[in-house]
Amino acid sequence: MAAPLALHLEFGGGAELLFDGVKNHHVTLPGQSDPWDMKQLLAWIRGNMLKERPELFIQGDTVRPGILVLINDADWELMGELEYQLQDQDNVVFISTLHGDKCLTQELKGAVGERSPDPRGRQ
């Protein structure tokens, strides 16, 4: 049986709102016969950490499109995505890229609608 794993999980870009607004979590995954992988971690997060609207974070057995995942500062696509076997003290970051884009889009729409004419005559 594998020993328990201590991980640092970080949620940003609005994803933290699904976790009671808490960005940083230090978690210990229980020991089990097979090594922990990202697919199992996502199932564990869904069952133990997600506070609301899991469909905004999880789609099927993976993260929803628009969630950037970094494992020890590397894109998880380079690490094997769902098959990556977690190691003790790994740092896993989840960043919602959609949240930031929506906010930026709303700010830009508001700015364009309220923009005063350019003093140099440009529109």
pLDDT digits (tens, 9 = 90+) for 15-58: 999 999 999 999 999 999 999 999 999 999 999 999 788 999 99
Residue 31, domain CATH: 3.10.20.30
Nearest to 11 by CA among 78, 56, 61: 56
Tokens for 101?
Answer: 């884009």
In this predicted structure, what is the pLDDT of residue 116? Answer: 41
Q: Count how many domains the chain has.
A: 1
pTM of the model: 0.78
Q: Which residue(s) pair with 6 in the sheet?
A: 28
In this predicted structure, what is the pLDDT of residue 2? Answer: 74
pLDDT digits (tens, 9 = 90+) for 66-79: 999 999 999 999 99
Burial 30-50 (b: 16+ CB within 10 A, else e): eeeeeebebebbbeebeeebb
Write out the residue range of the structural domain in which residue 17 sits.
5-113
On whether residue 122 sits in a domain, the answer given is: no
On whether residue 118 sits in a domain, the answer given is: no
On whether residue 123 sits in a domain, the answer given is: no
Neighbours of 26 (CB within 10 A): 8
On whether residue 120 sits in a domain, the answer given is: no
